[in-house]
Amino acid sequence: MSQERYIDTLLNTYNMADCNPVYTPAEKDLQLEKATDDEYEHSKDYPYRQVIGSLIYLMTATRPDLAWIIGKLSQHLERPGPAHIAALKRLLRYLKGTKGFNLRFTPNQQELVGYVDADWGGETSTRRSTTGYVFTLDPKPQIPNFKLYMVKYQLL
């Protein structure tokens, strides 16, 4: 399942069709703080909520890899500032670079494989941990440059 056409429409709608692609959804150690009144005033005309809504649809349908960053950006729906908009535009650039990513379902897969990673207190402002996981029905997942601890489950 792929939504390349939807991503192209999204990029065109928000004037990002000619952007340079990136291959990570967010910068390393992304910290988004609440926008000040002045920052919000300069950013309030950007359609931040509409873009997030469009991305939530995409995430729910075929792109679970967007869940963490969309959750992070959604925490600032009320008062987005320039840093939030920059992070959102980077996410759109990520979509441009990865619009060929898709979910593939075939009838002969027998094995469910899970990969888990945690950063134990990696968020410096709250000391909260972040855990990421990927489950696949393909015994040989194509996840480049992704170091994970592997947990294997057998379907009954």
The pLDDT tens digits of the residues spanning 8-46 come to 999 999 999 999 999 998 888 888 889 888 989 888 899
If you average pLDDT over every residue of the chain, what do you get? 81
Determine the pLDDT at residue 32: 87
123 or 85, which is more confident: 85
Residue 77: phi and psi, rounded to 5, are -65, -30
Average pLDDT, stretch 102-116?
71
Binning pLDDT at 50, 70 and 90, where does residue 131 land? confident
Q: Count the Cβ atoms, other than its own, within 10 Å of residue 38.
A: 9
Determine the pLDDT at residue 14: 94
Determine the pLDDT at residue 144: 52
Average pLDDT, stretch 101-111?
70
47-75 in b/e burial notation, b at 16+ Cβ within 10 A? ebeebbebbeebbeebbeebeebbebbee
48 or 1, which is more confident: 48
Average pLDDT, stretch 78-102?
91
Judged against a pLDDT cut of 80, whether residue 143 lies above it is answered with no
156 or 35, which is more confident: 35
Determine the pLDDT at residue 150: 42
124 or 26, which is more confident: 26
Q: What angle do CA 102, 106, 110 make, to 5 degrees?
A: 115
Average pLDDT, stretch 105-124?
71
